[in-house]
Homo-oligomer: A and B are copies of this chain.
Amino acid sequence: MTDALPNIVLILADNLGWGELGWGELGCYGGGVLRGAPTPRIDALAAEGLRLLNFNVESDCVPTRAALMTGRQAIRTGAFQSVPAGLPQGLTRWEVTLAELLSGRGYATAHYGKWHLGDCEGRFPNDRGFDDWYGIPRTSTESLFTAAHKYDPEAVPLPYVMEGRRGGKTHNVKIFDEDSRRRIDGEIVDRTVAFMEKNAAAGKPFFAYVPITQLHFPSLAHPDFMGRTGHGEMADSLAEMDHRVGQVIDALDRLGIAENTILLFASDNGPEFRRPWRGTAGYWRSTYHTAMEGSLRAPFMLRWPGKAPAGGVSNEIVHVADIFPTLARVAGAELPADRAIDGVDQLDFLLGRQPRSNREGFVYYIKNEMRAVKWRDWKMHMIWEPEVNDGPVKLESPYLFNLIQDPKEETNVAVEHAWVMPAMRRMVHDFLQSLKKHPAIPPGAPDPYEPPVRK
């Protein structure tokens, strides 16, 4: 049975905004050649499968990765913000990860890239369902430490590239500095390809989770790509990303397993807001860490030759938490029944068997604060902060935008479209009720974690 299961390759880019990505010369998400870096391999990937225009993520690296790994919105797991080394962080072991689900179905599992869901023993990828891992436990920002003025490793620990195997301990490989930051995506993809080769040869279904580190700042490209585009490090890094994705696709094709492999490519959140690494959401407004569409919508594409129709494009709403139940279904795995799962199975929609998504909306948090609700064509903002650090304004009278007619979220239609507000309010009510029934895990909760008794 298990040898009929399809392989799964999930490439997750870091801080790659909707506007950054080109459809190569067609500039599908509006970027590509406009950003100085055509992306022909990623373009081809989408042209051969499905591209979502309304794929929604959480507000930051950590909450999106937590939702992806658990199918639960990050407010539930407590992993709703980035936490530096030395402070409690990550998913409790009570959570069931996607890797654990797939591993239970006989998949070989590997994590190559950026984890950010726990940096102590028991919470590393090799403790959470992955047979093998290599990468960074936290985030690329730390590669700036060692070269920084007066950096003191006694006060703040040296960052390392790490690796680990199931049943063993995660250990340091090398210091994570500017040089290793430039090289890590190449190493990640080399290991991914080797992992695919090994399991293809063994005829074992595999799950390769590949959270590459580009374009997160410092967006420094591999030495082979430095100066490649003539438009600076951001564009060079984008060109490298396109090449890395191409390497994975080439390996799938070379190994003859493309038709038995679901390839997913997505980004964890909207574009960077910091300068000089500032990104762009293109068509949409603002950056991550906001509740604007530039934060919510991230690139997403799926390629599965012979299963998902080529050239598909959809503006239907999908949420990153949906990946968990969707891939569980692919693998025939049962979802945990003792907790709230926010994700919904989107397999039939993603494979073109039905035109509509199985989701009409979702509630959106920044850290532990509910900021907005999206439903059908509309979005309601309860707290308004169009740019990071503008200062959030709690709205006594929420704003409502029609995202088709007003994509930049500029014209409040809460009066004209008053009928929509009750639907929005109901979603808020229902979500808060489910949080009462299934109390959220507090951030930084230590293991072992015991969920509170429910009434």
Contact = CB atoms under 8 A, between A and B. Distances in A.
A298 B448 CA distance: 59
Contacts of A28: 23, 26-28
A282 interface: yes
B406 A36 contact: no
Nearest to A22: B313
A192 B405 CA distance: 31
A305 interface: no
A246 interface: no
Contacts of A27: 28, 53, 313
A25 interface: yes
**A-side binding surface: helix, strand, loop or mixed?**
loop
A410 interface: yes
A120 to B, nearest CB: 39
Q: How large is the interface on A (under 10, 10 to 19, 20 to 34, 35 or more residues)?
A: 35 or more
B311 A34 contact: no
Interface stretch (A96-104, A220-228, A273-281, A359-367): A273-281
A283 B19 contact: yes
A135 interface: no
A186 interface: no
A439 interface: no
A13 B315 CA distance: 26
Contact of A405 (B19, B36, B282): B36
A405 B232 contact: yes
Interface in A254-295: 275-276, 278, 280, 282-283
A283 B232 CA distance: 20
B405 A283 contact: no
Contacts of A26: 23, 26, 28, 313
